[in-house]
């Protein structure tokens, strides 16, 4: 089968994932801004796989305004990730250069911050390659909309103007979001996903992005 468009996740797909200790430091700094010494459980609540309910419960324990805390945490994350890109510690994968050769409309849907995605596209001179791109705004509402919710995938498909699209990601939530949006999926089994056992079936499973040239 061939497709009229491809939508990508970013982290672990186009660019390497950010070092967890860098993100842990950004999260800890968010707590420090509000004079809170976080426990390990507090940090785990806000490092990844964040839910509004878990975030609200954690903030309630410390008397924090959830929206204010989340804005600080997310802007901290974007700040440190832009630094990692700028200083060469969050590079593009070599095979991500394929996006410059794919002759169909392309999009990005990431659970990273929108400001981070914009910076990555500008730093790597990729903005003109993508017709549309979405990351999260630093709001609780956008936490609810992140994958596996298909909200941003559906918005990207509407922007491009086709449902005959392929979504490429490196996580189970990417595959789930693609299925929920009614499009085929690629699970990209890079080294950091070598041992992942998915509970959902992607349409394709690749180890690199190179096979995409045969699908458009």
CATH number for position 99? 3.40.50.1000
Q: pLDDT digit of tens for each residue in the chain (216 aa)? A: 899 999 999 999 999 999 999 999 999 999 999 999 999 999 999 998 999 999 999 999 999 999 999 999 999 999 999 999 999 999 999 999 999 999 999 999 999 999 999 999 999 999 999 999 999 999 999 999 999 999 999 999 999 999 999 999 999 999 999 999 999 999 999 999 999 999 999 999 999 999 999 999
- Both 174 and 98 in a single domain? yes
pTM for the model: 0.96
What's the domain range around 70?
20-86
Report the pLDDT value the prediction gives residue 80, as an integer from 0 to 100: 98
- Both 132 and 38 in a single domain? no
**Closest by CA position to 108, among listed 134, 77, 84, 89:** 134
Q: Which of 65, 86, 107 is the last residue of a domain?
A: 86
Report the pLDDT value the prediction gives residue 208, as an integer from 0 to 100: 98
- Both 142 and 202 in a single domain? yes
- Both 79 and 135 in a single domain? no
- Contacts of residue 95, Cβ cutoff 8 Å, sequence gap at least 6: 208, 209, 210
Report the pLDDT value the prediction gives residue 127, as an integer from 0 to 100: 95
How many independent structural domains does the chain possess?
2
- Both 120 and 182 in a single domain? yes
- Both 36 and 76 in a single domain? yes
- Both 97 and 147 in a single domain? yes
- Contacts of residue 49, Cβ cutoff 8 Å, sequence gap at least 6: none
* Cβ–Cβ < 8 Å for 36, 43: no
- Both 145 and 103 in a single domain? yes
- Both 114 and 179 in a single domain? yes
H helix intervals, the chain? 20-33, 40-47, 52-62, 66-86, 114-123, 140-145, 151-160, 172-181
Q: Which of 71, 86, 101 is the last residue of a domain?
A: 86
- Both 77 and 124 in a single domain? no
- Both 121 and 74 in a single domain? no
Report the pLDDT value the prediction gives residue 1, as an integer from 0 to 100: 87
Q: What does the block give as tokens for 105?
A: 């409309």
- Both 78 and 136 in a single domain? no
Q: Which of 34, 65, 86 is the last residue of a domain?
A: 86
Give the integer Cα–Cα distance in Å for 198 and 27: 28
């Amino acid at each position: 089968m061939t497709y009229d468009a491809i939508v990508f996740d970013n982290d672990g797909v186009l660019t390497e994932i950010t070092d967890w200790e860098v993100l842990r430091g950004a999260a800890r700094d968010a707590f420090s801004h509000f004079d809170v010494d976080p426990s390990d459980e507090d940090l785990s609540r806000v490092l990844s796989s964040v839910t509004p309910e878990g975030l609200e419960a954690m903030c309630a324990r410390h008397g924090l305004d959830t929206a204010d805390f989340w804005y600080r945490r997310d802007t901290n994350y974007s700040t440190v990730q832009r630094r990692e890109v700028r200083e060469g510690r969050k590079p593009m994968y070599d095979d991500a250069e394929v996006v410059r050769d794919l002759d169909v409309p392309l999009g990005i849907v990431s659970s990273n911050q929108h400001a981070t995605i914009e910076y990555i596209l500008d730093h790597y001179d990729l903005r003109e390659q993508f017709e549309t791109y979405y990351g999260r705004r630093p709001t609780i509402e956008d936490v609810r909309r992140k994958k596996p919710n298909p909200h941003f995938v559906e918005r990207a498909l509407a922007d491009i103007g086709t449902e005959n699209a392929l979504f490429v990601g490196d996580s189970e939530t990417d595959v789930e979001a693609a299925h929920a949006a009614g499009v085929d999926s690629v699970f990209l089994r890079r080294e950091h996903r070598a041992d992942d056992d998915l509970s959902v079936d992607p349409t394709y499973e690749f180890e690199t992005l190179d096979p995409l040239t045969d699908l458009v």
